[in-house]
Chain A
Amino acid sequence: GENVEQHPSTLSVQEGDSAVIKCTYSDSASNYFPWYKQELGKRPQLIIDIRSNVGEKKDQRIAVTLNKTAKHFSLHITETQPEDSAVYFCAAMRGGSYIPTFGRGTSLIVHP
């Protein structure tokens, strides 16, 4: 089955810095890669996603890049703000599946 590795497990940055979270996946048939943000005490919410036919996708301060050859994808957050502090989960999903496989999460802490 699919295996998703996510790094780092904790990331501490100063407000205004950029943050990058990386994930690798094992199943070359995976073709959909969503990212979820879970604020303390709240539900995970989808913040951005990318399909395997696209190399990069941006939405304001967040972007996701995908390298199919290397089987890794990354979340980039620019100009971080304290409200970006949360746990971020990456996931991978292959064409024949109904269930995404999640990484273990990255706790992002943005210091004011």
Chain B
Amino acid sequence: KAGVTQTPRYLIKTRGQQVTLSCSPISGHRSVSWYQQTPGQGLQFLFEYFSETQRNKGNFPGRFSGRQFSNSRSEMNVSTLELGDSALYLCASSLGDLPGQGAEGYTFGSGTRLTVV
């Protein structure tokens, strides 16, 4: 069973540019969540998509957006990049169809390391 696949693994962008990251969930998983991880800040929740709809959203500016396709693959976009956006961006997938079912199957991808220069 394939895991969660994130592409690309590494990105270097300059300030002001925009970037799109991709996440393919485990087959059958319909929920995809995105996190920003920086040293000392832990895992900061960006948003979650389920069946092509944003179901949950964290406290990030509107420059951060995402979408989910009918095959459950998800993309995250960051516009007008700032130096502070440099981070590891992780996505996690889960079945997501019943609340309170815990994080069973809440599986992370290996992440995309974004560096803004």
Query: Of B45, B48, B56, B109, which is within 8 A of A43 by CB?
Result: B109
Contact residues in A for B103 (Cβ distance below 8 Å): 32, 34, 46, 49, 91, 93, 100
Contact residues in A for B4 (Cβ distance below 8 Å): 43
Report the Cα distance A34→B101, complex, angstroms: 12
Total A-B pairs, Cβ < 8 A:
64
Given A34-B106, A89-B42, A104-B41, does the pair A95, B111 have CB atoms closer than 8 Å? no
**Interface size of B in residues (CB-CB distance below 8 Å):** 26
Query: Of A36, A46, A96, A102, which is within 8 A of B99 by CB?
Result: A96
Given A31-B100, A32-B100, does the pair A99, B45 have CB atoms closer than 8 Å? yes
B63 contacts A by Cβ under 8 Å: no
Task: Give min CB distance, A53 to chain B, whole Å.
Answer: 12
16 contacts between A and B (CB under 8 A): A31-B100, A32-B100, A43-B90, A43-B108, A43-B111, A44-B90, A44-B108, A49-B102, A51-B102, A89-B43, A96-B99, A96-B100, A98-B48, A98-B55, A100-B103, A101-B45
Ordered nearest first, which 9 A-B pairs have the shortest CB separation?
A95-B100, A104-B42, A32-B102, A43-B108, A102-B43, A105-B42, A34-B103, A44-B108, A43-B110
The chain A residues found within 8 Å of chain B, CB to CB, are: 9, 31-32, 34, 36, 42-46, 49, 51, 89, 91, 93-105
Given A43-B109, A46-B103, A104-B41: 7 more A-B contacts, CB < 8 Å: A32-B103, A34-B106, A42-B110, A43-B110, A95-B100, A96-B100, A102-B45
